[in-house]
A = this chain, B = another copy of it.
Amino acid sequence: MTGRIRVFCASSLDGFIAGEGDDLSWLPDVPEGGSDHGYGAFMATVGALLMGRGTYDVVEAFGQWPYGEKPVLVATRRPLAPPAPSVRAVEGPIEALVAQAREAAAGADVYLDGGVLIRQALEAGLIDEAIVTLIPVVLGKGHPLFAGVAGRHPLTIAAHESLPGGLVQLTLRAP
């Protein structure tokens, strides 16, 4: 069994996953006991994560490592001081990184995170599904989710649903 390569992220209305300087202050707070926007259900299918170094640095700076013992592969050429034994640095072309992540996921899904890796995977036709939560704000600039990718990539909008707080979650899939 081979798991899917999936993205789960928030995006501004102009397609940014982070503002300038990795600003995430525009993301709505999730109230205690409130909706997690499907994150828990998504994570339950995830066997391993593959993320870019930029994303890793942001997550690691939160102070508490959020991924427990799930294998996390960080694409980086710079030294990494992993916060947990489950975290390791990887490098190479996107196809090799995704293959390693699939192996680590052992049949479950791979959670792919970070704009650069997401765009590389899209270019290589490796993304099975992207769950994108639209936050109703225009940021103007920041780190794009898809813009900048080489080539034109048709997807399907498999679902769109309202989430609490006026958000809309899109499920995009490879056609």
B-binding residues in A (CB < 8 A) = 13-16, 19, 26, 122, 134, 136-141, 144-157, 160, 162, 166-168, 170, 172
Given contact pairs A14-B144, A140-B152, a sample of 6 additional A-B residue pairs in the complex whose CB atoms are under 8 Å apart? A14-B147, A136-B154, A137-B152, A138-B149, A140-B149, A140-B153
* Cβ 8 A contact of A136, one of B122, B139, B145, B156: B156
In Å, the complex CA distance between A122 and B144 comes to 20
Cα of A122 to Cα of B140 in the assembled complex, Å: 11
Residue pairs across A and B with Cβ atoms less than 8 A apart, 8 shown, are: A14-B144, A136-B154, A137-B152, A139-B152, A140-B146, A140-B148, A140-B152, A156-B166
Q: How many copies does the complex hold?
A: 2
In the bound complex, what is the Cα–Cα distance between A154 and B13 (angstroms)?
A: 9
- CB of A134 to closest CB in B, whole Å: 7
**Given A157-B167, A168-B170, residue A141 in contact with residue B137 (CB < 8 A):** no
Q: How many Å lie between the Cα of A151 and that of B14 in the bound state?
A: 12
Return A64 CB to nearest CB of chain B, in Å. 28
Cβ–Cβ < 8 Å partners of A150 in chain B: 140
Q: Which of B147, B151, B153 is A16 in contact with, Cβ under 8 Å?
A: B147
Known: A168-B160, A172-B13. A147 touches B141 (CB 8 A): yes
Supposing A156-B166, A157-B166, A166-B156 touch, asked if A14 and B141 sit within 8 A by C-beta, the answer is no
> Measured between alpha carbons, how far is A151 from B20 in the docked complex, in Å?
11
Q: Which of B137, B141, B144 contacts A155 (CB 8 A)?
A: B137
Return the contact of A137 from the options B153, B160, B168 (Cβ within 8 A). B153
Contact yes or no, B149 A136, CB < 8 A? no
Q: B162–A160 contact, CB under 8 A?
A: yes
